[in-house]
Amino acid sequence: MNQPLLPAALSAALSAALSRYASRNPESARLHAAAAEVMPGGNTRTVLFYPPFPLFMVRGEGCRLWDADGHAYLDALGEFTAGLYGHSHPVIRRALEEALKGGMSLSAHTAGEAALARELRRRFPAMELLRFTNSGTEANLLALSAACAHTGRRKILVFDGAYHGGVLTFGGGGSPVNVPHDFVVARYNDLSSVQALTHAHGKELAAILVEPMLGSGGCIAGDPVFLAGLRGLADETGALLIFDEVMTSRLSPGGRQALLGIKPDLTTLGKYFGGGVSFGAFGGRADVMARFDPRRPDALAHAGTFNNNVLTMAAGLAGLEQVLTPAAISELNERGERLRAAANEIFVRHGVALQFTGLGSLMNLHATDVSISRPADLAGTDPRVKDLIFYDLLERGIYLARRGFVALSLPFGEAEVAEFLGALEAVVRERRDILPARDSEPETSG
């Protein structure tokens, strides 16, 4: 077990860091107070809030951000994976400008939507037919609706700690704003728990919905044997296997399903595929997706004013065809692997019980050195540790998620890796006497 923290020292250090943060950012404080007059807590996206008030950003370029008080930051968050291209990539900008010349809302089909769908199917062959939405949340909602309609069943098997959108959240026992599907919750990376539940509910299961790596749940990679086992259990029960690759799609040109050689029945996408504009997609087996064909008398309806909006179609296609080459994806993920390994080596060298887990260009900091296979393994970690590191890194010009999440963008190169690691080591060196002490080797590969 990790030795106990020094609670008084940790609390004092965090209090001092918060005080410095507040004094450094008076304009963000003012903007937040004004926002709170018209939005609850001055917020319309919960994940972006942190006390005493969040930073307000005014500009981005490449992998740099500038806040309302004039501070510059290395952007290590990458818009929670949606900012894969960085800020205002010239190719994306040109595509948007050209699209605007033809008009934004054309009230009709355009050639751009089929072109983007064709490119996505080329990268994800399991998506034999697909449809667009406005977010990954919508994509998952529609995929579940398709599974229920196709199977005639109502139960959905999901995993503790999973996140499939704002109304499909399963961390900490679920959310009161979740949609009211009949959910069956299994333990991630525990095939025996899934087997028990499929044996009990198999004839009622419409779908098994899984992230190949838990994203918001802490960048905990799904074990290949576990994920392959889900494919077998879906076949056995007649449920549809849905891979939520909203985040993991960036791990290879064809997502993690291509790396593992697993073909899901349905796949959901989102984030960066819209080139930085709102985007989502769901697709898969032709016999399932054909139920949305409006030429059929029994077609399932799927509305959405902005599903095929010209800006998303243009930006998404330009990014995929001109920027996000297989080589670019490979280099980015290799860079992420090196960063994570180097960060974990810093923790070992300074004797602190911290680790980054993840795959490729996605990773998450945890205040423990125990092996992590599922969110339950994080029970008992002290949230103040990550809070302190978050505010310390902000003070050194590094912007990441308060929960320790990091998503690299294409402009985040070797110089930026060195900058990130330098700031991280400075924080660890300064704080190591009040950070939890390590007593085992970390999990550096994911």
CA atoms within 13 Å, Cβ hemisphere of 362: 29
Question: What is the end-to-end Cα distance of the chain in Å, rounded?
Answer: 21
For residues 331 and 6, give the distance between their C-alpha atoms in angstroms, rounded to a whole number. 41
Residue 440 CA to its chain's centroid (Å): 28
Catalytic site includes residue 244: yes
Asked if residue 357 lies in contact with residue 220, where contact means CB atoms within 8 angstroms, the answer is yes
- How many angstroms separate the Cα of 427 from the Cα of each of 38, 389, 392, 430? 37, 7, 7, 5
Give the position of tokens 């860091």: 17
Token code pair at residue 421: 């690691």
From 244, 265, 369, 387, active-site residue: 244
Catalytic site includes residue 271: yes
For residues 220 and 124, give the distance between their C-alpha atoms in angstroms, rounded to a whole number. 23
Asked if residue 221 lies in contact with residue 247, where contact means CB atoms within 8 angstroms, the answer is no
Token code pair at residue 292: 């949305």
Catalytic site includes residue 75: no
For residues 231 and 216, give the distance between their C-alpha atoms in angstroms, rounded to a whole number. 23
From 163, 188, 391, 399, active-site residue: 163
Give the position of tokens 């139920």: 291
Asked if residue 178 lies in contact with residue 268, where contact means CB atoms within 8 angstroms, the answer is no
The closest of 140, 378, 396, 113 to 243, measured between CA atoms, is 140
Token code pair at residue 104: 């934004």
Asked if residue 154 lies in contact with residue 185, where contact means CB atoms within 8 angstroms, the answer is no
SS3 407: strand
Token code pair at residue 390: 């978050």
- Backbone torsions φ then ψ of 273, nearest 5 degrees: -65, -15
The closest of 362, 360, 364, 359 to 334, measured between CA atoms, is 360
Asked if residue 242 lies in contact with residue 265, where contact means CB atoms within 8 angstroms, the answer is yes
From 21, 265, 271, 387, active-site residue: 271
Report angle CA 290, 291, 294 to the nearest 5 degrees. Answer: 90
Q: Which residues are catalytic?
A: 163, 244, 271
